[in-house]
Amino acid sequence: MTQPRSRTVVVLAAGEGKRMKSNLPKVLHPLLGRTLVGHVLAAAEAAVAERTLVVVGHRAEQVTTHLCEIAPTARPVLQAQQHGTGHAVRLAMAAAPQTTGTVVVLNGDVPMLRPQTVTELITAHETAGAAATVLTAEVADPTGLGRIVRDSTGGLERIVEERDASAEQRRIREINAGIYAFDAAGLREALGKLSTDNDQGEEYLTDAVGLLAAAGAPVGVHVAADVTETLGCNDRVELARLRRLLADRVNERWMRAGVSILDPATTWIDVTVELDRDAVIDQNTQLRGATTVAAGASVGPDVTLIDTVVGAGATVLRSHAVQARIGAGASVGPYAYLRPEAHLDERAKVGTFVEVKKSQIGAGAKVPHLSYVGDATIGARANIGAATIFVNYDGVRKSHTTVGEAAFVGCDSCLIAPVEIGAGAYVGAGSVVTKDVTPGSLAVTRAAQRAVEGWVHSRRPGTPAAAAAAAAAAAAARPDGEADHHPDAGGGDPGDTATD
């Protein structure tokens, strides 16, 4: 049995990407859940490599920090000055002199590449026992890219950069994707012979391929089945095009897996998101980062979820959530803002113009309208009336509020933390609660109502209010007007102004 060949991945990420006109290195630009280089490294995992080397140069420190986060086993290799793609690979090979077997080289700016294509390239290369295999594509517009020059037998002869190409060569539409498999020994030898005799005065990796072919070594071509996989990114217009193409790919994948995406054109799902069958994603929706949506949940229209977990059958409508957890059957929005550690248990409701931060909302509990809930624990089936504010900050420190199970907080109340509302307790509407409320009791802090009879008649004469009051008084004075009379509610039921 033959030993499986050792594999090494080299990712080229030292360039500045001048045409991006950005302070951020090109390979760190984000694209639906990963950076450009993050996408390339994810595809490269298919190589199952013994080592992964990433050539860094422009803003090397920043790129290296990012690599530590996303691919801690990848080894950065510094190319202090960017003397070309060949120079970059030469430094990588020098940094890992023990490298044998297959070396897969990937441009750091080709984010659409699929793992499957990397596997196919390697298989084609290793099966043929080639010295080099180049991933190519037939494109409609090859402008700016290296052209594949084939010999009379159809084999690869060399790769010519556009700026070094003859008019005839420029008409070739087969391009170099910047993705290669090499045999380590042949690559090392060819890299040692590179010249800088070209328009840019750089060492071209593409020339290593030409040198191997000229020496009669077996050089193969693997034509990409899907041209979009080979698209590089040089400016922000291309980045936006890639975002569109990648979003289409992601949306299509989820629709084929049983997710309804009602308007794919306005749905942007990061590659890192997970969706279950029968989830429904409505228009203008962004699902980002580690977001997951369980079976039968409905998200959108107009929703952004970042690192948020949505339970089965939950509904999220016109809302924004960051690092939140929305339980099964829960309901959010329209117009809710869930901030980090907003945790809604099953069937909880967070309604219109409600902001929740670092709080647990128990099963079936409701915060239906116009409230701020911060640093709180709300028990199951509790009802928080409209415009209730959890006053969690005294200007110095944040404090916690607990609302017990099935407690009822009347509208327009302030709960001044730290405070505890017991299970089944009531808070009268308009109260400012500063002391704990024992289970089952009622707390009311508002002033008693007083009435100044005839005030409008004497102080606002001639106004529509005065006219309406006079008409009502006349109607009440008629014998048949009795039916319209409402008894004064007096101290009233504090819950009577709560809402549902």
Considering CB distances under 5 to 8 angstroms, the limit depending on partner class, which of ligand UD1, Ca ion, none binds residue 82? ligand UD1
* Catalytic hit among 125, 369, 400, 485: 369
Contact mark string toward ligand UD1, 55..84, x via CB under 6 A: x-x---------------------x--xxx
3-state secondary structure 144-193: CCCEEEECCCCCEEEEECHHHCCHHHHCCCEEEEEEEEEEHHHHHHHHCC
Q: Cβ–Cβ contacts within 10 Å for residue 117, how many?
A: 21
Element holding 133 (H helix, E strand): strand 132-138
Residue 161 interacts with ligand UD1 (CB under 6 A): yes or no: yes
Residue from 133, 136, 206, 371 touching ligand UD1 (CB under 6 A): that is 206
284-291, Cβ contacts within 8 angstroms, sequence gap of 24 or more:
288/33, 289/33
Report the alpha-carbon distance of residue 154 to residue 131 in Å, rounded: 17
Q: Cβ–Cβ contacts within 10 Å for residue 23, how many?
A: 7
369 noted as active-site residue: yes
Q: How far is the CB of 14 from ligand UD1 (least distance, A)?
A: 3
Residue number, 233 or 365, with CB nearest to Ca ion: 233
Residue from 54, 71, 88, 156 touching ligand UD1 (CB under 6 A): that is 88
- Tell me which residues in 164-183 interact with ligand UD1 (CB under 6 A): 175-178
Residue 268 interacts with ligand UD1 (CB under 6 A): yes or no: no
Residue number, 161 or 355, with CB nearest to Ca ion: 161
* Pairing assessment for the beta strands 102-107 and 442-443 based on DSSP bridges: unpaired
Angle between helices 36-44 and 115-128 (to 10 degrees): 50
Contact mark string toward Ca ion, 212..251, x via CB under 5 A: --------------------x-------------------
| Pick from 379, 383, 357, 375: nearest CA to 417 | 375
Residue 204 interacts with ligand UD1 (CB under 6 A): yes or no: yes
Q: How far is the CB of 177 from ligand UD1 (least distance, A)?
A: 6
In terms of DSSP H, where are the helices of 50-136? 60-70, 85-95, 115-128
Residue number, 232 or 327, with CB nearest to Ca ion: 232
Q: Name 215's Cβ contacts closer than 8 Å, sequence gap at least 6.
A: none
The residues annotated with a catalytic role in the active site are 369
Residues of the shown chain interacting with ligand UD1 in the complex, contacts defined by CB under 6 A: 12-15, 55, 57, 79, 82-85, 87-88, 107-109, 145-146, 159, 161, 175-178, 204-206, 232
Residues of the shown chain interacting with Ca ion in the complex, contacts defined by CB under 5 A: 232
